[in-house]
Chains A and B, each alone.
Chain A
């Protein structure tokens, strides 16, 4: 079922006219598109070109509201325009639009030639990563229909629930995001290493700051690890004796209980 050549030709032409309006000549447009008494061919195609950019910018603002606040709408839209021209949308779902945005910002950072990275650029990239983490958590597979672990669930039966993710950031992006959400007009924060666990429970997305050791632990569990392998990872990364790490885990049950109550874990034996 291959398409007629004139159809693929027309569609390739029109699509490139949307993505790169400046590369399309008036003459080409006039040979393809009819003018009316009110609208020239160029103006008629322009409606599609204009809408394409505005439509995607609107979706991106909705997916990155804190980043849009941090950059200001004008600059945010400029970044999106450049992003979309470098990486036009590929998926049938709009939820995919922001997937490559943090990577784009990283690859196109304005301080590439500077001897040191600019803190505000690092912050913008971290904020984009965090907003993607939050956005993905909203609608990914979750634990709502599964058996969450109880305080009495033994360690070997604990595994992370599907929506849990952890990430390391160089700025307190969670605080910043929630300050924007509460319309507190936050200033860009100072550098500070933070580790954030994000998960959904009963269809509400939660952000939980954790320590570096806890981040290592949860990261290992998110990779499919067990409590045992996660404790080993902590011992290795922090160069601490495994026996001491295990002892700390079993003696300070507060952390474990908190995480279980927050819905971090499933009970593997009831899956």
Chain B
């Protein structure tokens, strides 16, 4: 009888942080001026790892007062390109400075042949991919010296090549590597809708004991498909799934992502705190779907929130 892998790797020792928010450029001033009563922050690693300016200063100050988690979008764990060692070293340096509770990224690839699409692209869910990704997770965990936490991405297509379901794939990956999981509840809803799967089947086969963190976000209904736009409140159907996920994950750290048309900090915080009602077991009405919008306008995985508003932050032309 071997020791349960989760105990060996220590993901079960990771704390339950409560309800957190994404650390966004547009909220920096508010956070630094008010030190709001939020449980924890999740910072997009790439937004801070090369920063020699204000973002680096802000994350240092925030990390002194709140638990912080680093969430990446460019690890590209599923790529057939070699791992980017320069990226990993920078990530490690940032982690040494910020001392995050954990480091996460996505089950995806972002590009091959040296390119980066800046999207979270789906991997073919096969045994061969599993071998490949498991070896890479081992390597990343060695370099970072801690378990990697991987998130289920939002997906818009299914490959003919797939032989495993996403929960099966993630379960096997966790068993082989002792990594942890970030369950994005909205992504489950979006991906299941798009690939015609049932979220309750997804939940039934999901390895809940590996869940370290959860994500909540709003999506856009494009009629034939849903897009993970992160630009609006969480939909009632997703709150209903969250109520289940909260029970099944034993209250894993939960974070609201709001990345497009980002409202004030207070409004994001209010949206996050709605989670409390569902944590007590209150089940949302599974209401009808919202009016669809044309798909051409909705962007999946929006990333421009990572680009600071440099124009607003620069001083007038000077006369010296």
Interface residues of A (CB under 8 A from B): 1, 3-4, 6-8, 10-12, 14-15, 18-19, 31-34, 36-39, 41, 43-45, 47-48, 50-52, 54-56, 58-59, 61-63, 65-66, 88-95, 134-135, 138-142, 144, 162-163, 174-175, 177-178, 180-181, 200, 203-210, 258-259, 262
Contact = CB atoms under 8 A, between A and B. Distances in A.
A41 B50 contact: no
Interface string B42-69: 0000100011111101000000000000
B156 A47 contact: yes
6 contacts: A1-B132, A33-B158, A39-B224, A142-B53, A144-B57, A177-B311
B87 A11 contact: no
A259 B114 CA distance: 42
B131 interface: yes
Interface of B: 46, 50-55, 57, 74, 76, 79-82, 84, 87, 109-119, 121, 123-124, 126, 128-129, 131-132, 135-136, 139, 156-161, 194-196, 224-225, 227, 295-296, 299-304, 306-320
A15 B117 contact: yes
Nearest to B296: A50
Contact of B119 (A38, A55, A61): A55
Given A15-B117, A58-B304, 20 more contacts: A11-B112, A14-B121, A15-B115, A18-B119, A43-B224, A47-B225, A50-B296, A51-B299, A62-B309, A63-B307, A63-B310, A88-B115, A90-B116, A135-B310, A138-B54, A140-B53, A142-B53, A144-B57, A200-B53, A209-B318
B296 A94 contact: no
A260 B126 CA distance: 62
Given A34-B157, A59-B304, A208-B320, A4 B131 contact: yes
A62 B118 CA distance: 15
B175 to A, nearest CB: 19
Contact of B295 (A33, A47, A66, A204): A47
Residue picked from B51, B52, B313, most chain A C-beta under 10 Å = B52
Nearest to B112: A11
Contact of A55 (B115, B118, B160): B118
Contacts of B76: 92
Given A11-B80, A44-B157, A51-B299, A38 B225 contact: yes
B272 to A, nearest CB: 25
A39 B311 CA distance: 41
Contacts of B195: 34, 36
Nearest to B222: A47
B135 A207 contact: no
A12 B112 contact: yes
A15 B309 contact: no
A205 B50 contact: no
Given A33-B157, A94-B118, A59 B196 contact: no
Contacts of A144: 53, 57
B200 to A, nearest CB: 18
A258 B46 contact: no
Nearest to A257: B320
Given A11-B80, A62-B304, A142-B52, A3 B159 contact: no
B158 A34 contact: yes
Contact of A94 (B82, B306, B318): B306
A7 B129 contact: yes
Nearest to B82: A1
B161 A10 contact: yes
A93 B55 CA distance: 14
Given A15-B117, A94-B306, A204-B315, A58 B224 contact: no
A33 B225 CA distance: 15
A93 B50 contact: yes
B115 A89 contact: yes
B314 A39 contact: no
Closest 4 CB pairs of A and B: A3-B80, A141-B52, A8-B80, A92-B74
Contacts of B225: 38-39, 43-44, 47
B106 to A, nearest CB: 13
Nearest to A91: B116
Given A92-B84, A258-B320, A162 B52 contact: yes
Given A7-B80, A135-B310, A206 B318 contact: yes
A55 B302 contact: yes
Nearest to A11: B112
B160 A7 contact: no
Residue picked from B84, B114, B115, B301, most chain A C-beta under 10 Å = B115
A209 B156 CA distance: 50
B227 A47 contact: yes
A59 B157 contact: no
A1 B135 contact: yes
A36 B314 contact: no
B300 A36 contact: no
A58 B299 contact: yes
A106 B14 CA distance: 52
A204 B313 contact: yes
Given A92-B87, A94-B46, A142-B53, A52 B302 contact: no
Given A33-B160, A88-B115, A178 B54 contact: no
